[in-house]
Amino acid sequence: MLIGAHVSQAGGLSKAIERGVERGCRSIQIFNQSPRMWRPTAYDEDDFAAFRAAMEASQIDAVVIHAVYLINCASEDPEIREKSLASLTQSLRVGEGIGASAVVLHPGSALRGHVGEAIARAGEVFREALEATDHCPLHLEDTAGAGGTLGRSFEELSELIDAAGGGKRLGVCLDSCHLLASGYDIRTIEGLGETLDRFDATVGLDRLGSLHLNDSQTPLGSNRDRHANIGEGELGEEGCAAFLSEPRFDDLPVLLETPGPDKRGTSAEEIALANELRERGLKARGGRAKGAGGARRGSAKRAADRPPA
């Protein structure tokens, strides 16, 4: 399990590696540009090469890109659709440049429209973006289920994958906060296990490619997306320990997108806590720790972009 966090890419892509190392991360997630603007950041081959070299020299074994928030691949507005397609395609290209495990994307929103039609529109945009790029996987993230957001259930994620053609590059990122908020009770080892059985039956575990670990400020089924620091929300330490020790997550990047102690994102202390909770979870399961990775403590004072929702 590659425990890590969302970190800022401000100042250049390679800076993200430094921030990950400072926090003791084994994996990182970054935005490929400012997340609240359409305008893409221009990178060249030298930027990509520098990033890959910095990552190679570090303890970080996986990087994931989070696509920007403005994207709504399900939009009926032709202008938003075109901008969404261009932005998603750009994210996948940057992903290919830096050797990312995937681009993680919120699947979109039907707003007040028909959900089935929205899924079909989103699927078509995913398909076009994948056709325009070579190999970077696209992970659709499950959502908390607010408003018309798509991807609130495993059934919807499965429909979205089908609508996009069902190719091998299509995967899923499961977010613990969103799972709980959308009604999946993952607060215990048993509850998480049953939830994953349902995921396997509906989507297939082979599609599961990345994870977000966030505690939730709002309760089970609240459909509200409010991240809490690890152990400080409705999941609590027990729920986080269950998530961190789930054997079916063993080979995946697990990224924290928490507010952090000073609202500047996940801290080194929180990554260390996540590693401790993994050990605790493994003990509770009666297993032995393997590959948990040693958390290195370091300064976490650097400013980060606000972590993603």
**DSSP letters along 177-207, please?**
HHHHHTT---SSHHHHHHHHHHHHHHT-GGG
Question: Should residue 146 be labelled a site residue for Zn ion when binding is judged by CB under 5 A?
Answer: no
For Zn ion, the closer CB: 284 or 309: 309
Interacting stretch for Zn ion, rule CB under 5 A, among 5-13, 108-116, 147-155, 217-225? 217-225
How far apart are CB 289 and Zn ion at their closest, in Å? Answer: 26
How far apart are CB 29 and Zn ion at their closest, in Å? Answer: 9
For Zn ion, the closer CB: 145 or 231: 145
Catalytic residue among 6, 257, 270, 278: 257
Contacts of 75-78 spanning 24+ positions with Cβ under 8 A: 75/108, 75/109, 75/111, 75/121, 76/113, 76/121
Strands of the chain (E only): list them.
2-6, 27-31, 62-66, 102-105, 138-141, 170-175, 208-213, 215-216, 227-228, 253-256
Looking at residues 96 to 135 of the shown chain, list those that interact with Zn ion (rule: CB under 5 A): none
Interacting stretch for Zn ion, rule CB under 5 A, among 4-12, 25-33, 192-200, 206-214? 206-214
Catalytic residue among 23, 81, 178, 278: 178
What angle, 0 to 180 degrees and rounded to 10, lies between the N-to-C axes of helices 236-244 and 268-284? 80
Query: Residue 215 catalytic?
Result: no
Cα 215 from Cα 226, distance rounded (Å): 8
For Zn ion, the closer CB: 140 or 170: 140
Question: Should residue 159 be labelled a site residue for Zn ion when binding is judged by CB under 5 A?
Answer: no
Question: Should residue 212 be labelled a site residue for Zn ion when binding is judged by CB under 5 A?
Answer: yes
Angle formed at CA 10 by CA 9 and CA 13, multiple of 5 degrees: 40
Question: Should residue 175 be labelled a site residue for Zn ion when binding is judged by CB under 5 A?
Answer: yes
Question: Should residue 225 be labelled a site residue for Zn ion when binding is judged by CB under 5 A?
Answer: yes
Residues in binding contact with Zn ion, number by CB under 5 A: 4
Note the residue count of the chain: 309
Hey, which residues are catalytic here? 36, 66, 69, 106, 141, 175, 178, 212, 225, 227, 257
Binding site for Zn ion (CB under 5 A): 175, 212, 225, 309
